Homo-oligomer: A and B are copies of this chain.
Amino acid sequence: MKYCFAFLFAFISVSINAQSLKVSDEKTLANFYTYALTQGKSYEWLQHLTTQIGGRMPGTVAADKAVKWGEKTMLDAGFDKVWLQPVMVPHWERGNKEVAYYTINNKKINLPIAALGNSIATPKKGLLAEVVEVKSIAEAENLGEKLRGKIVFFNAVMKSSHIRPFTGYSETAGMRVNGAKAVGKYGAVGVIVRSLTTNLDDYPHTGVMSYRGIPENEKIPAAAISTNAAELLSKHLKENPSLKFYFKQNCKNYEPKLSYNVIGEITGAVNPENFIVVGGHLDSWDLGQGAHDNGTGVVQSIEAARLFKLMNIQPNNTIRVVLFMDEENSGTGSIKYAADAKEKNEKHLGAIETDSGGFTPRGFSIDANSELFSLVQTWKPLFEKYGIYEFFKGGSGADTSDLKSDTILLMGYKPDAQRYFDFHHAATDTFDKVNKRELELGAGSIASILYLMDSYLK
């Protein structure tokens, strides 16, 4: 396209219900977006967090650095109060890079592989065994004792036909989380899972797995292999069902460690003891830089509150930015935040979480009673000029759902998700995959919701 003066948008003008919204709301929202796009800090913050600190697994040195960075960034942004909330977090590290291969037709095939988070290591010499390929936990369990001595290969394809990629993720993530737990009891010796992306590529996508509730002797090592590797292995298993697969991983669960949620506040002018939370998680997987998951959410949360300062808007209630520690592994940060809030009897009016990537804004999920759900629908027309049309019932996110009550308004920021699983939990989740404008439009959108929450929640 070269040149298009003829390209004129003629949107139906937003009709605001004067009874429920203030005339000034439209103008205030426009300012949030303008400031985010022209005086935004989110992109340069993200560059630092991702390229200078990088992947930040809970309990690691990088996570400690991220805590310090978050605290300093909020202090520099002029927040009224910034503090660290101590929390004991699990500490798992990958160790040396994993190795996997098998031999077929006298040819050695090396595969891209990455241990799943929380997994134990293989024996020091690695693990060599025949492979049983299945498409589901149920299929594996049906095989029962036939799994003894075998590596179970969960090769369920994340379907590309779903319009919303998260649907395909929800259908398959259970194998990654619970696959090893389900087959250890039958004497399986290891688990490999097909990476959760609709792409055919060479990147293993890690993610959390769990041994919860099973005895020590049933714990077996689990890892993800790339989708291309999964396709190839599946093909070769048809040629030679008794081929032996080797993998070696060196990951380790250490003792839990002291870490922190990083919290910053802009004090409310009218009801400082009422809180509205905006947040994302500060920790990330270690293979990439934790850019879309969830560096973008971290910087958008800080930026959304900073825009209030920049525009000299003092909120009625206290706006609290929470950078949650340990979302990816076991959620200790969000549990701690909610428990402390309950103990202190803090009144939380609302919360918005951003943990679905830093892409173009599309909508918001809403988890609230019907009255609050209806209230949010009155805000919808304000967002159409920003290309935001979707206000739907759905969970707010893993870190804010612990705040759930009969009276709180929980919301999730839901940007365009088509690219998300190109990067999710993989080495590809790096700063260069984030577009500045998309990130900033997200910050403007989240600030707008915070403002409306602050104006209309009681």
Contact = CB atoms under 8 A, between A and B. Distances in A.
Interface of A: 1-11, 33-34, 37-38, 160-161, 163-167, 169-170, 173, 177, 198-199, 207-208, 293-294, 327-328, 355-357, 360, 362, 365, 385-387, 389-390, 392-395, 397-398, 401, 412, 416, 418-419, 422, 424, 435-438, 441
6 A-B pairs closest in CB distance: A6-B395, A10-B393, A389-B389, A1-B355, A418-B437, A34-B161
Contact of A163 (B10, B169, B386): B386
Nearest to A399: B1
B393 A3 contact: no
A398 B198 CA distance: 35
A175 to B, nearest CB: 12
B436 A395 contact: no
A198 B437 contact: yes
Identical copies in the complex? 2
Q: Which among A4, A10, A164, A436 has the highest number of chain B CB atoms within 10 Å?
A: A4
Contacts of A33: 161, 163
Contacts of A392: 9-11
B1 A398 contact: yes
Contact of A37 (B160, B208, B293): B160
Nearest to A388: B389
22 contacts: A1-B294, A1-B397, A3-B398, A4-B166, A4-B170, A4-B395, A5-B170, A6-B401, A7-B394, A8-B393, A9-B394, A10-B392, A33-B161, A33-B163, A163-B386, A163-B441, A165-B437, A198-B437, A362-B387, A387-B416, A418-B438, A422-B435
